Amino acid sequence: MSRALHSLQDAFVFESTAVTSYTFATVFLPAFLGLYTMAVLVQLPGTRLSRGALLPVVLWMALRAGKSMDFSGDSPGLGHLNHGLALAMFTFAMRSTAWTLVREPYARLPIHGPNSNLMNGDHGNHNPTPKSSPRVSVPSAMWNAWDLLVNLRGIGWNWAQGSHIPKASSQVESRLVFFVLSLGRLILYTIAFDTTSKCVSWFGPDTIGSPNGGTIFDSSLPPFTRYLRSSVITTLSGVTSYLTVEAVYQLHAVEFMVLFRQYPSQWPPLFDAPWFSTSLSSFWGRKWHQIFRESFVAVGSKPLEVFFGRAGVVMGAFAVSGALHDVGMRGMGRGGDSLQVMGFFLMHGVGVMMEGVWKRVTGRRVGGLVGWLWVFTWFVIWGNLMVDAWARRGLLGCELIPRSYRPTTMLLNLLYSRR
């Protein structure tokens, strides 16, 4: 058992080499092509055995790419690129596994226009069953696979039943208007996340604010002040994470509107005002982004449901989410803190289960102001541990934007030049 455990740990020790045209073509592209092939096969009937045979190869290629490539160029400040690579390869593995387990082919739904129910985020209630979907040709499946690769929420597909897609506050039908709005949001979110990350760095420019890293817990401070400081850092880091995801989403919206002339309604809001969550169940089930729901359910919830029922559904999804984030951090090549990172997500699973117990005992759901305080407190308590793991590995000090082009840097330079 001990030898097997050490072998498993060794599999996730990342020893990367610099990216060249050769390594990109022989390491990264095979992993991508493996996922693309799975995206094609999952649309074609009678391919379940083929997908099952291909899955081990795709998993091996994803693991190989995650361990063998260094996009940072040995620059600690660019460690987030390897973090992103590890997240991408883990996502490749999750989605390939989910597609292997599918019994009926995925089918793309017709998009009738901006005013249809499908385009207004109601597709979850209007999807035809897989059996009623028309048979797709191989060339069509190859074209549709490109959408499937980037469409993590299943918008316009028949497999997204049960997914919560937030509705936009205002319906925009013009591609040009939506493009301008998305570009404006991208700029605003970029400025906002740069500002909040700058605030985090201010607490320790040479430690948590640098790629060298450092703990968020200042042992020189009294306990109350120490944990108040770490909680402020944790809250700011959480807001930064939200703003970063939003900025990336708006960037993709701008890209795909231009490249594929997609409708504005194919890009509904990613979040549903998570700051108004009054229960952990509503936060994770509706208000936070649902881009990994398909994979978490297929790889985590369904297998454990067989053995543990409702508890397996909840804890299985959070366990896979924790593994995703832990592998991502390990991708930086500076080790990991599985107990703190995975513990954050597992304890949120415990919190969701506690809310279920509360409802059974009292007959009332967690909610209101007390529910909001409960959510915030639970996040801060366990968030302290995960953010500390991020900080010690230097993730909070990475340069997502080159220093000279950061909005905060440019603004400060402008203010100093006018003195």
Q: What is the tally of structural domains in the chain?
A: 2
Give the whole-number percent of the chain exceeding pLDDT 70. 90
Instruction: Give yes or no: residues 249 and 373 share one domain.
Output: yes
Let me know if residue 217 belongs to a domain.
Answer: yes
The residues that bridge with 17 in the sheet, in sequence order, are 69
Confidence of residue 119 (pLDDT cuts 50, 70, 90): very low
Domain stops at, among 96, 130, 162: 162
151 and 171 inside one domain: no
Q: Distance between the two ends of the chain, CA-based, in angstroms?
A: 67
Six-digit token pair at 309? 């029922």
Q: Which residues contact 306 (CB under 8 A, 6 or more apart)?
A: 312
> Does 232 lie in the same domain as 148?
no
Is there a single domain that holds both residue 226 and residue 355?
A: yes
Provide the 3-class DSSP secondary structure of residue 157: strand
Query: Are residues 158 and 169 part of one domain?
Result: no
Same-domain check for residues 275 and 178: yes
Domain ranges, residue 342: 164-418
Phi, psi for 67 (deg, rounded to 5):
-90, -20
Residue 115 has pLDDT above 50, yes or no: no
The residue from 130, 162, 194 where one domain ends is 162
| 349 domain-assigned | yes
Q: Are residues 158 and 210 in the same domain?
A: no
Do 181 and 106 share a domain, yes or no?
A: no
Q: Domain check: are 387 and 406 in the same one? A: yes
Residue 119 lies inside a defined structural domain of this protein: no
264 pLDDT band, cuts 50/70/90, is confident
**What phi and psi values does residue 77 have, to the nearest 5 degrees?**
-70, -15
How far apart are alpha carbons 206 and 221 in whole angstroms?
Answer: 18
Same domain for 57 and 42: yes
Q: Are residues 255 and 197 in the same domain?
A: yes
Q: Is residue 248 part of a domain?
A: yes
What pLDDT was estimated at residue 383?
A: 97
pLDDT tens per residue, range 354-384 = 999 999 999 999 999 999 999 999 999 999 9
Domain boundary among 162, 195, 229: 162
Read off the pLDDT of residues 14-73 as tens digits, 9 standing for 90 and up: 556 788 898 899 999 999 999 999 999 999 999 999 999 999 999 999 999 998 899 888
Kindly report the pTM of this predicted structure. Answer: 0.88
The answer to the question of residue 392 being in a domain is: yes
State whether the Cα torsion 291-297-298-304 is positive or negative.
positive
117 domain residue, yes or no: no
pLDDT digits (tens, 9 = 90+) for 134-165: 678 999 999 999 999 988 898 889 887 778 88
Given this model, what pLDDT does residue 126 score? Answer: 38
Q: Decide if 115 is inside a domain.
A: no
| Residues 158 and 272 both lie in one domain | no
Q: Evaluate whether residue 291 is within a structural domain.
A: yes
